[in-house]
Amino acid sequence: MAVFKGAAVAITTPFKVDGSVDFETFGEHIESQIKGGTDAIVVCGTTGEASTLTHEEHLDCIKYCVEKVAGRIPVIAGTGSNCTETAVYLSTEAEKYGADALLLVTPYYNKATQNGLKEHFTIVAESVKIPIILYNIPGRTGVTIQPATVVDLCKKVPNIVGVKDATGNLGMIMELAAMAGDDVDIYSGNDDQVLPLLAVGGKGVISVLSNIAPRQVHDMCAKFFEGDIEGSRRLQFEALDIISALFCEVNPIPVKHAEKVMKINNGVLRRPLTDMESANAARLEKAMKDYGLI
């Protein structure tokens, strides 16, 4: 059974003015996501600025999210690292805290071979019992998990169950889907490719847009699964402008700006991320207005 089916939010991490994690606001954001129909929460991913969290903060965020959600929807903890030992540490701790599943990003900077990726993911998977979703995002990591590697891992390692594909390469996604059969749960890592991925058998999306439009992204998936392909297509097309604006600067700069516009008090960005440039902010706010968010 898939970890989740539908739309999971790649949730942002709110910070106070002094840079510490704002757990009160985080809790409010989690509640608004559940109320808005989000099907799962991915905590401490790219959008959650995990790369600038200390290990203690990282684990505190996972623990808080698990306790706040209290079993209402799955919580998937981002616990990947370019250091295998660190990934094992974060993963085993997240399992202790009650995370339902893990999201493991491809090791970055090291640029491992496909055999190296297999070893890395297998070692981490064998350290825990909960399901694992691989996170294929070569634009950030410099390495692509090839379709054959994904399928091999999902077939040979019992608790590696799927992949979040943020390659943007529809040809590669088609190749993966053709090879995967029932062995790989495929999730879109790009909000502008939800419908195409669902059309080739995907289980849903891990979404940035869901931070500000949880109901719309949930419905995009739900309509498809209900057989209302035209309704799903309409929602995907309607979201294209806001999605483009959300990625006109590096994620999560635009979505955190959008949250502020919507009066979600998410505080500061962690450096080296900086506030959105004025022209891009104006573009985003226009897209939000056109989409009916403000």
Tokens of 209: 């847009």
Query: Is 187 an annotated catalytic residue?
Result: no
**Catalytic: which of 35, 97, 118, 135?**
135
For residue 33, give the nearest of 5, 6, 69 by alpha carbon: 69
Query: Is 109 an annotated catalytic residue?
Result: no
Distance separating alpha carbons of residues 285 and 195, to the nearest angstrom: 25
Q: Say if residue 49 is exposed, middle or buried (CB neighbours under 10 Å; 0-12, 13-18, 19+).
A: buried
Distance separating alpha carbons of residues 206 and 209, to the nearest angstrom: 9
Question: Mind giving me the DSSP string for 253-264?
Answer: HHHHHHHHHTT-
Distance separating alpha carbons of residues 60 and 77, to the nearest angstrom: 11
**Catalytic: which of 164, 203, 223, 256?**
164
CB neighbour list of residue 242: distance below 8 Å, 6 or more residues apart: 209, 213, 287, 288, 290, 291, 293
**Identity of the residue numbered 200:** V
Question: b or e along 270-288 (b: 16 or more beta carbons within 10 Å of the residue's beta carbon)?
Answer: eeebeebeeeebebbbebb
Place of tokens 């071979």: 113
Round to the nearest angstrom and report the end-to-end CA distance of the chain: 38
Distance separating alpha carbons of residues 146 and 179, to the nearest angstrom: 11
As annotated, the active-site residues are 135, 164
